[in-house]
Amino acid sequence: MLKRLLSLCLICSSAAAQTLSVTSPNKQISLTLSDDSGSPEYSVSFDRKPVIESSKLGFIFKAQPELSNVLKIVRLDTSSRNSNWEQPWGEQRVINDHHNELFVELQTQDHRKLNLRFKVFDDGLGFRYEYPQQTNSEKIEIVKELTEFKFADSNDMTGFWIPAKGWNRYEFLYSKTPLQNASHVNTPFTIRSTNGAHISIHEAALVNYPSMTLKQQRLGTFQADLIPWYDGSLAKLQGSFKTPWRTIQLASDAKGLLNSRLILNLNEPNKLGDVSWVNPGKYIGIWWEMHIGKASWGTKSNIPHGATTENTKKYIDFAAEHGFDGVLVEGWNKGWDGSWFLNGDVFSFTESYPDFDLPALTNYAKQKNVKIIGHHETSGSVTNYEKQMNDAFKLYKDHGVEQIKTGYVADGGKVKRTDANGVIRHEWHDGQFMVNHYLESVKTSAKYQIAINTHEPIKDTGLRRTYPSWISREGARGQEFNAWGNPPNPPSHIPMLTYTRMLSGPMDFTPGIFDLSFNGLDEDANRPQTTLAKQLATYVVLYSPIQMAADLPENYLEKKDAFQFIKDVPTDWEKSIAVDGEIGEFVVFARQERKSKKYSGEDWYLGAVTDNKARTIKVDLDFLEPQKKYIAQIYRDGEQANWKTNPYDLVIESKQVDSSSQLTIKLASSGGAAIRFKAI
Ligand code: NOJ
Ligand code: CA
């Protein structure tokens, strides 16, 4: 338990410095806040070893005096909490929130105020600034947030990161470098120390504020670098504000980061009320055929239009026959002809192409108990989208569409909007303007009981807890890069995503490509650089409440045995446990299905994937319910499998197991294993 500090008002003389500390419930993490140096600084230790050394806090404003120097602690309050809460859908139904809290009021000599709130959990900590109203509803423009993360022993640390402020948003390959070579990074930023500490820096509850990136100011010291507006200012606020939580997840091994629920715990509870209309599930779609050049989004190229009534019916039939919930249709609406990624202003979100009959298709789907999944590509022309949003959501709502995939294909810094005076401005995808736009799209669609899956999104910061209709998002290199990316995603990509991007929340990666040689098997051809077993394992490894079976229906019919796993695997979980792994190298996840109309809740699933290196893993099945017997339906790499020359070698076998069993599984080079433990 937290040592109860002072909870009364402390009127400190300006001379009396304060040093306060809070520990995690299990005492492994300790946070210290001090105003010794005249300005507030915090430090963090893990297992009694320093992780973050005295690091600065505070702000520089455009108009108001800066809040950093001569800022003293004048009052503090502490509290603790240990409670459970339930997710409507998720990787885990019941989440435990156990933390100790420290709230501190700081003041300058001329009585300007800044409050800080810290929450310390066993899996890390978060802190946020709470800026109270100082004078009447003043306008506040932040020109710098001074938050620092000064890593202790940074010479011994390795960073796993993607660059910040890049042209391709978050769609970059991850780099693994000495920490000191990470100059300007996006979060989640994953770090490993030779002393065993595994660290992730991120943020939670990013609302009405710019996204935080991290810039290495001096070796080992990273400073918050907020994404600016078009005019260079960082945050435009009024009166009072709360920043997102700045988060530091800490674990003694790699899997510990995956088992952390810190980001969700720092978000506010559901604000949408009844969300029974938000449905996890699996979908197929008119999608991959465009990415591999077999069909087109538009109607004027020499490649056939994908989103025709006839083709959509074929997909609906396939979905109905094989138990899929949805069919995504891209390219159904006017605006795709020409260079659609440069011409977002001409998209209509209510008018279909003449060869696509929305009412007939939604009716047809309804008869077959399948839902059409809507699609809104904006190409980053946000004002054009905002103008049409309500009509567009209403149209889909009227036809029973309950999920929309949105898209914001535009280079970083090039999102286009028209301001109140009719002037065109270009914004970043992760500046305050777009942070607000993305959330607004979710809130507005929720009024129509429509859930949103954002592509080219703002990074996830756990807002699915507060807005559970924000059902998934992209925000990293997905499967599409294997169709046309240069280079395609390498063998390390999925294990790397697991310990970086996935720490922020669900990803619509779109696994399940079965034709791995649509361009042949040349090493440098565009194709998934994985085995078939790894495509299956990805359904368990990369969590999303909606999962696509991304390949063409005919490719599934050719490999019906392997397809069975995709048909069986659920997307909503009672429990998720990362069992084993190393950052960027391999990972093993076990998940228990959540009880629902379709699932008994008794089966478990396991997914294991490796990078280029073939390896043998041993998995104790002690996560299974004791005394219960299961048939393990195993989909694993065959003896000859490897991603380069023999990606299809797949063995499907069954074994009876229980919680005392151990499985030894060989993973091929860029291979995997997918297992259903069917309770008997
Ligand atoms: C990029 C998305 O990630 C992809 O899935 C989609 O097909 C295209 N935009 C077109 O909207
Ligand atoms: Ca994309």
Q: What does the alpha-carbon distance between residue 571 and residue 584 come to, in Å, rounded to a whole number?
A: 23
pLDDT for 13 beyond 70: no
Quote the Cα angle for 320-321-322, to 5°: 95
Q: What is the predicted pLDDT for the residue at 312?
A: 98
Q: What is the predicted pLDDT for the residue at 75?
A: 97
Ligand 1 atom nearest residue 297's Cα: 10
> How many angstroms is it from 476 CA to the middle of ligand 2?
7
Amino acid at 425: R
pLDDT for 530 beyond 80: yes
Distances (CA, A) of 652 to 475, 529, 532, 636, 673: 33, 21, 12, 7, 10
The count of other CB atoms within 10 Å of the CB of residue 535 is 29
Q: Are strands 184-185 and 212-218 parallel, antiparallel or unpaired?
A: antiparallel
Quickly list DSSP for 187-251.
SSEEEEETTS-EEEEEEE---SSPPEEEEEEETTEEEEEEPPPTTS--EEEES-EEPPEEEEEEE
pLDDT, tens digit, 9 for 90 and up, residues 330-349: 999 999 999 999 999 999 99
Where exactly does CATH 2.70.98.10 map onto the chain? 2-265
Q: What does the alpha-carbon distance between residue 311 and residue 303 come to, in Å, rounded to a whole number?
A: 14
Bridge partners for 84 per DSSP: 96
pLDDT for 450 beyond 80: yes
Buried b (16+ CB within 10 A) or exposed e, 314-342: ebbbbbbebebbbbbbbbbbbbbbeebee
pLDDT, tens digit, 9 for 90 and up, residues 485-499: 999 999 999 999 999
> How many angstroms is it from 333 CA to the middle of ligand 1?
14
Contact present, 551 and 288 (Cβ < 8 Å): yes
344 DSSP 8-state letter: G
Q: Which residues line ligand 1 (CB under 6 A)?
A: 287, 330, 377, 407, 409, 455, 474, 480
Q: Whose CA is nearest to atom 7 of ligand 1?
A: 287
pLDDT for 3 beyond 50: no
User: 53, 480, 574, 585: which one is catalytic?
Assistant: 480
Q: From the options 2.40.110.10, 2.70.98.10, 3.30.930.10, 2.40.50.100, give the CATH code of 2-265.
A: 2.70.98.10
Q: From the options 3.20.20.70, 1.10.10.10, 3.40.50.10860, 3.40.50.300, give the CATH code of 268-475.
A: 3.20.20.70
Is the entire prediction scored with pTM above 0.85?
A: yes
Mean pLDDT of 352-356: 98
pLDDT, tens digit, 9 for 90 and up, residues 233-273: 999 999 999 999 999 999 999 999 999 999 999 999 999 99
Token couple for 407 = 């898209």
Three-state secondary-structure class, residue 179:
helix
Instruction: Output helix, strand, coil percentages for the chain, rounded to the nearest 5.
Output: 20, 35, 45
Three-state secondary-structure class, residue 484:
helix
679 CB burial (10 A radius; 0-12, 13-18, 19+): middle
Q: What is the predicted pLDDT for the residue at 6?
A: 38
Position 584 confidence tier, pLDDT thresholds 50, 70, 90:
very high
Q: What is the predicted pLDDT for the residue at 136?
A: 77
| CATH 3.30.200.20, domain 478-516+530-549+563-680, yes or no | no
Mean pLDDT of 431-458: 98
> How many angstroms is it from 290 CA to the middle of ligand 2?
13
Q: What is the predicted pLDDT for the residue at 69?
A: 87
Q: What is the predicted pLDDT for the residue at 300?
A: 95
Q: Whose CA is nearest to atom 6 of ligand 1?
A: 407
123 DSSP 8-state letter: T
Q: What is the predicted pLDDT for the residue at 180?
A: 96
Amino acid at 98: H
pLDDT, tens digit, 9 for 90 and up, residues 123-176: 999 999 999 999 878 999 999 999 999 999 999 999 999 999 999 999 999 999
Where exactly does CATH 3.20.20.70 map onto the chain? 268-475, 478-516+530-549+563-680
> Which range, of 59-73, 363-377, 634-648, averages the lowest pLDDT?
59-73
Tell me, yes or no, if 480 is annotated catalytic: yes
Q: What does the alpha-carbon distance between residue 462 and residue 267 come to, in Å, rounded to a whole number?
A: 6
Q: What is the predicted pLDDT for the residue at 16?
A: 72
Token couple for 69 = 């120097």
